[in-house]
C-alpha cells in the first residue's frame, strides 16, 4: 500500500488528483476540513473509483490534529499539499487570512513530515509567483517579481520555505485550471462566491447571476482583455501523479510550470463557452481589478522533458465539462 497524504483532497484540484492517484495504484489519504468545499466531492471520488476513501476531517493548520493523522496512518510515501485559500481578489481584501492559512498549513505539514520521516512533497504552487513577467512564455528560471496579490506572495514564500527544508519537493506552478471530471461527479465546490472566470461564466449561464463583469478591456493584448493559460483540471491532476513518481526517484528540489503554453483572452474564453454549449453569456466591461496580471502563459518544455507531461484536453472540452458540472451541482 503506497500511501500519499493529500491535504485539501476534497477540493477542486485535490479531488481530481485523488482520482488519478487511485488509478495509478497509490492509496490517497485525504485531509480536508471542508471549509471551502463539500462532501459531495468525496462521494464523487468514491463513485468514480469504486473505492472507499480514507478521509480525516482536520484543519491543516492544527498541529495536534495533523500529528494525530500522521501517527494513525503509519508509513506515508509522500504528501501533496493543496490546502490553501485561493482567491486573488479576497487575498487583497483580507491578506492576513491568506498569510495565516496558506503559509501556516505548509509549516505544520513540514513539521509533521520531519517528525514522521516523510521525505517527499508535491506543492500546489501557481504562476502568480512570477508577478508580471518580463518575457512570455514564462519559463521556470524567470525571476520572481513583486507579487501582484497577497495570494501570489504566499506562494512565493511557501516555495522559499520548501527550498530551505530538508524534504524532497516538486513545486507545480499551475496556470489557470478549468473544467471538471467527465463524469460530472466532482468539481469546484467552493463554499464562497465564485471568483474565477469559468465558474462565474457557468453561474451566469444557469441564471445564478445576471451577468459577468470583465475587469478591463484596455490592456495591451489582442482584444484588450487579460490573457491567461487555461488548463483542463484532469490534465493538471495527472501532472501530480507524474510529479510524485518523479520525486520518489529524483531527490532534491524541483519546480515545473503546468500549462498549455497557449494564451487565451477573457473574451475568447466566453466565446469558447458559448460555442461549446450553444449558449449566450451576458457580460459587461468594468474597470481593471486590483491584483490582475495583464497576460501570462507557460513555457511548458521542462515539464514535458522531465515528467513526460503535456496537456491533452481542449479548451472546448473544458467548457463542456464545466457546464455539465454546473448543471448537475446539488
Beta strands 78-81 and 3-7, pairing class:
parallel
CA distance 301 to 201: 31
- Of 130, 151, 174, 230, catalytic: 151
Q: CB neighbours of 198 closer than 8 A, spacing ≥ 6?
A: 178, 179, 230, 269, 273, 318, 319, 322
**Between vectors from CA 87 to CA 36 and to CA 33, what angle results, nearest 5°?**
20
For residue 151, indicate whether it is catalytic.
Answer: yes
CA distance 148 to 126: 12
**Residue 17 grid coordinates:** 488528483
DSSP string, 151-171: HHHHHHHHHHHHHTSSSEEEE
Buried b (16+ CB within 10 A) or exposed e, 69-106: bbeebeebbbbbbbbbbbbbbbbbeeeeebeebbbbbb
Q: Name the residues annotated as catalytic.
A: 151
Amino acid at each position: 500500500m503506497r500511501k500519499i497524504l493529500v491535504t485539501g483532497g476534497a477540493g477542486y484540484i485535490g479531488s481530481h488528483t485523488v482520482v488519478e492517484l487511485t488509478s495509478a495504484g497509490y492509496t490517497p489519504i485525504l485531509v480536508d476540513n471542508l471549509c471551502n468545499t463539500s462532501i459531495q466531492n468525496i462521494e464523487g471520488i468514491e463513485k468514480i473509483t469504486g473505492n472507499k476513501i480514507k478521509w480525516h476531517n482536520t484543519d491543516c493548520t492544527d498541529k495536534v490534529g495533523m500529528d494525530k493523522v500522521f501517527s494513525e496512518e503509519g508509513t506515508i510515501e509522500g504528501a501533496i499539499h493543496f490546502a490553501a485559500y485561493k482567491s486573488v481578489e479576497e487575498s487583497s481584501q483580507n491578506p492576513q487570512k491568506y498569510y495565516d492559512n496558506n503559509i501556516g498549513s505548509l509549516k505544520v505539514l513540514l513539521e509533521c513530515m520531519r517528525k514522521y520521516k516523510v521525505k517527499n512533497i508535491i506543492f500546489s504552487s501557481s504562476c502568480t509567483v512570477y508577478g508580471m513577467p518580463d518575457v512570455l512564455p514564462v519559463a521556470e528560471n524567470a525571476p520572481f517579481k513583486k507579487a501582484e496579490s497577497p495570494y501570489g506572495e504566499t506562494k512565493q514564500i511557501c516555495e522559499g520555505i520548501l527550498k530551505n527544508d530538508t524534504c524532497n519537493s516538486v513545486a507545480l506552478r499551475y496556470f489557470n485550471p478549468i473544467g471538471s471530471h467527465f463524469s460530472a461527479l466532482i468539481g469546484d465546490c467552493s463554499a464562497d462566491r465564485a471568483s474565477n472566470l469559468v465558474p462565474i461564466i457557468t453561474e451566469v449561464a444557469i441564471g445564478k447571476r445576471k451577468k459577468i463583469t470583465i475587469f478591463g478591456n484596455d490592456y495591451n493584448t489582442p482584444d484588450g482583455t487579460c490573457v491567461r493559460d487555461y488548463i483542463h483540471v484532469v490534465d493538471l491532476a495527472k501532472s501530480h501523479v507524474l510529479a510524485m513518481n518523479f520525486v520518489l526517484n529524483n531527490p532534491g528540489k524541483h519546480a515545473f510550470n503546468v500549462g498549455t503554453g497557449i494564451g487565451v483572452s477573457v473574451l475568447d474564453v466566453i466565446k469558447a463557452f458559448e460555442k461549446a454549449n450553444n449558449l449566450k453569456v451576458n457580460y459587461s466591461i468594468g474597470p481593471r481589478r486590483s491584483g490582475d496580471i495583464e497576460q501570462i502563459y507557460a513555457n511548458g518544455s521542462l515539464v514535458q522533458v522531465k515528467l513526460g507531461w503535456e496537456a491533452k484536453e481542449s479548451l472546448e472540452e473544458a467548457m463542456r465539462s464545466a457546464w455539465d458540472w454546473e448543471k448537475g451541482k446539488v
